Amino acid sequence: MTPQTFIFIGRSGAGKGTQAKMIQEYLKKINPQREVLAIQTGAEFRAFIQGDSLTQKLSREIYEKAAFQPEFLAVYMWTNVLVNKYTADEHLVMDGLPRQYHEAGVLDSVFSFYKLEKPHVIYLDVSKEEAANRMLARKRVDDVPEEIEARLKWFEVQVFPTLDFYKDNPNYDYHVIAGERPPEEVHADIVAKTKLP
């Protein structure tokens, strides 16, 4: 099985992280010899803001205010991982990127550069209400009502147009997956629609 790419997009609380982990485990099970490189923008940011450079300090201030990071830093988070870790032998699993339409255009240049097969874009479709309830239930420090509302608004303003980049784009396999089901059912649907063995 040649290296595959999976891009998970959805509202905060849609289950992107859960499904990204499940697809990683599945890929390792069906082909133990091939590694999986997982890129999770949120985790990259949380590690990045621990540093002491000017950029890291400014990014930390934005994070502490629960504001949105500048687009150039979001792009840096995943390009840095690719440049330093990708060998072209791994499957790629991307969780929570791209976040904006322009970022999708930058990410688009990755696949031709590395001569990768057509990526799978997985849009986990959950309602705004369901996403809010899930975030409240997980009890993370930053999951308070005001921040949840801000993130959900951000998705509608910034990420919905990004989905339009992928819809009917012949360079991608775009899949809408109903996300308001048990994780195992969602995972099985992803495996079926992406035609994994």
How deeply is 192 buried, as exposed, middle or buried, from its count of CB atoms within 10 A (0-12, 13-18, 19+)? exposed
C-alpha gyration radius of the chain: 16
Edge-to-edge strands of the sheet including 120-125?
36-40, 91-95, 5-10, 120-125, 173-178
Q: Is residue 52 part of a domain?
A: no
What pLDDT sits at residue 39? 97
Please state the length of the chain: 197
Q: Is residue 59 part of a domain?
A: no
Q: For the full predicted model, state whether its pTM sits above 0.75.
A: yes
Q: Is residue 121 part of a domain?
A: yes
Q: Is residue 183 part of a domain?
A: yes
Q: How far is CA 78 from the centre of its chain?
A: 10
Lowest-confidence region among 7-16, 90-99, 111-120, 138-147: 138-147
pLDDT tens per residue, range 42-72: 899 999 999 999 999 999 999 888 788 999 9
Distance CA 143, CA 133 (A): 10
Q: Is residue 171 part of a domain?
A: yes
What pLDDT sits at residue 142? 74
Per-residue pLDDT band for 8 (boundaries 50, 70, 90) equals very high
**Selected residue with higher pLDDT from 112 and 138:** 112
What pLDDT sits at residue 17? 94
Asked if residues 6 and 119 have their Cβ atoms less than 8 Å apart, the reply is yes
- Mean model confidence pLDDT for the chain: 94
Mean pLDDT, range 166-172, rounded to an integer = 95
Tokens 């032998």 sit on residue: 89
What pLDDT sits at residue 64? 86
Mean pLDDT, range 160-189, rounded to an integer = 96
> In which domain, by residue range, is 148 found?
5-40+87-193
Distance CA 158, CA 16 (A): 17
Q: Is residue 13 part of a domain?
A: yes
What pLDDT sits at residue 31? 94
pLDDT tens per residue, range 74-88: 999 999 999 999 999
* Number of domains comprising the chain: 1
The CATH number linked to 125 is 3.40.50.300
What pLDDT sits at residue 21? 98
Distance CA 91, CA 181 (A): 26
Per-residue pLDDT band for 147 (boundaries 50, 70, 90) equals confident
What pLDDT sits at residue 141? 75
Distance CA 138, CA 132 (A): 10
Mean pLDDT, range 14-35, rounded to an integer = 97
N-terminal to C-terminal alpha carbon distance within the chain? 9
Mean pLDDT, range 23-51, rounded to an integer = 96
Q: Is residue 160 part of a domain?
A: yes
